Structure 1
Amino acid sequence: MCGIVGLHLRTPDLYPRLGELLTGMLCEMSDRGSDSAGVAVYGDPRWSPPGRGSVSLLDVGDDRDGVATRVGAELGAEVEVAMIGDTFQLSADAGSETLLAAARAAYPGVLVAGFGADLAVLKGVGDPRTLTASWGLTDAQGWQGVGHTRMATESAVTPSGAHPYAVGPEQCLVHNGSFANHAAIRRELRAAGVHFDSENDTEVGARFVASRLAEGRDVETALKELCATFDGFYTLLVSNRDSFAVVRDAIACKPAVIAETPDWVAMGSEYRALSGLPGVEKAAIWEPEPEVVYAWTR
């Protein structure tokens, strides 16, 4: 049992409240999983400055100045590093994938929490309320956020086992449930040259979706292919910089609720995660149908 939340804002007037709203949603799901938690925030200008590449790193084993110096030397350009809890949030006047390559050259084997324009990914082990306070999440801004509270069932309780899995540029996936055939699909992806950071079944789903998007599929097609390939019980929320999508397995075993107003679209594992959103009393609210992909674009 895990908790998923997601918020896609349609009106810029609400952008300054993204972190406040996302924090309330995530902490409401704390009793669905207190092993670890994580969020992906799109559009906070302090964490991922507009027009700059961004990379989120964990388990670096160095201080902020050392990271800036070593990655900057590999990049051949100045790198700014912000500390958000235990996350090293890097930004530079370079593409995110170029910055990521420099970070990996400077710190081989480093845990990459996420990368991409306008994206910061924060995750760690511990109670969601403690983690969100350490990140200062209530002060975050932006147009979209995704969060997850984890009750571990498939792999160790470590930062690499925490969600979100943000393994493609500007991409993010969170998951409630389990994939029964993840080991076989992992072997196929590894044979195709895909690298994994954990033994978590969710990472297999994230890598599968990222591989399909890299081949040119849109998110709806990628998720339909996932439904045809993966066995198990799941609710998934997949996002990138400009889209937000939800899908459930064929028997819709894992809970999910979607709410929509002219100002926002939100998803939670339970309605109580959405109950504090502005204007929710006037929202259209429904449970997503099995294997139907619900997607919105910014």
Structure 2
Amino acid sequence: MCGIVGLFLKKEDLRPKLGDMLTDMLITMSDRGPDSAGIAIYGDDSDGLKVTVQSDTPESAFDGLDTALSEVLGGPVTMKVIDTHAVLTIPAGSRDAALDALGEKGLRVMGLGEAMEIYKEIGLPKDVAARFGLRGMAGSHGIGHTRMATESAVTTLGAHPFSTAEDQCLVHNGSLSNHNTMRRILTEKGFAPKTENDTEVAACYISSRIAEGANLGEALDGTLADLDGFFTFVMGTKTGFGVVRDPIACKPAVMAETDDYVAFGSEYRAFADLPGIETARIWEPEPATVYFWER
């Protein structure tokens, strides 16, 4: 019984308020999943590639990390440290070398992309949001998740969102019954999941479809044919976000759209306090139907 939120802003002047609005939405969903929480923010494009990493010992792990990585990559690296996470901006073209170096240092990669930053940890949404200063973050869109673990351990890596490709991430409410079969298929394709969480399997599946040439809508549509179980997926990309529910639509979901934004919540109360909600078009996403919005 996890909680999902998503917010896509249509107006540029709302960008400074994205983190504040998403934080309120996520906290409202706390009782749907108290063990961990996470959020993906799509902000301004960087000059290079942003890599979000996590460590349980951030003081020692991040001390001098930018300097050491600059020497390895042969170019400038900047670093922004926020609690247990750090966002490193690395030179274009140095992705693989950077990931190898970060892996050797035992750092966990949460996600990477030109615009996306991911923050997730064990704990209640209000505590996770406060630790990372989510209210002060700006951007064009974002998705969030609060988790009730059912099929895997309560860990930072088991928290959502899951990112398996640049500027792509996924949050999920539900359970997949064929995730072990899909795990083997995806591993053979070079998209091996790193955790036991079935949501990461779904994220790898969508990334594999996009890598094969599908667009976001086609990749989400593919989940209806190839993934068994009950699910609501919300997918973030550099240009927008998409939503799809299984053919039975077992898990709750509701959406709202105004001239200013598109909002998603596992329940209406997630966005009941958004500005202009009283005039919004509000509906429940149809089963087996793909919705997506892009800039």
Range with bigger deviation, 168-177 or 65-74: 65-74
Shift of 1:121: 0.4
Residue aligned with 1:133, SS: helix
Unaligned stretches of 5+ residues in structure 2: none
User: Match of 1:30?
Assistant: 30
User: Match of 2:77?
Assistant: 79
Q: Deviations over 1:251-297 (max 9, x none)?
A: 00000001001110010000000111110111000000001001111
CA RMSD of aligned residues (A): 1.4
Return the match for 2:226 from 222, 229, 251: 229
Mapped pair 1:107 → 2:110: no
Hey, what's the Cα distance between the residues in 1 that align with 2:67 and 2:95?
Answer: 13
Mapped pair 1:129 → 2:119: no
Contact 2:46-2:89 within 8 A present in 1 as well: no
Contact 1:100-1:115 within 8 A present in 2 as well: no
Contact 2:56-2:84 within 8 A present in 1 as well: no
Mapped pair 1:64 → 2:62: yes
Q: Deviations over 1:204-236 (max 9, x none)?
A: 000000011111100111011111001111101
Shift of 1:64: 2.4
Contact 1:18-1:144 within 8 A present in 2 as well: yes
Unaligned stretches of 5+ residues in structure 1: none
Contact 2:183-2:192 within 8 A present in 1 as well: no
Which stretches of structure 1, 4 residues or longer, exceed 3 Å deviation after superposition? 60-63
User: Match of 1:209?
Assistant: 206
Range with bigger deviation, 71-80 or 246-255: 71-80
Q: Aligned letter for 2:13? A: D
Question: What TM-score do the two structures reach when normalised by structure 2?
Answer: 0.95
Q: Deviations over 1:105-150 (max 9, x none)?
A: 2433532111000111001111111010000011010100100000
Mapped pair 1:184 → 2:181: yes
Q: Deviations over 1:139-189 (max 9, x none)?
A: 010100100000001111111100000111100100000001101100111
Hey, what's the Cα distance between the residues in 2 that align with 1:276 and 1:85?
Answer: 29
Hey, what's the Cα distance between the residues in 2 that align with 1:146 and 1:199?
Answer: 22
Distance 1:140 1:100, change over 3 A: farther
Q: Percent identity among equivalent residues? A: 49
Contact 1:233-1:253 within 8 A present in 2 as well: yes
Q: Deviations over 1:54-103 (max 9, x none)?
A: 010113754323321232222111211111221111113425xx335413
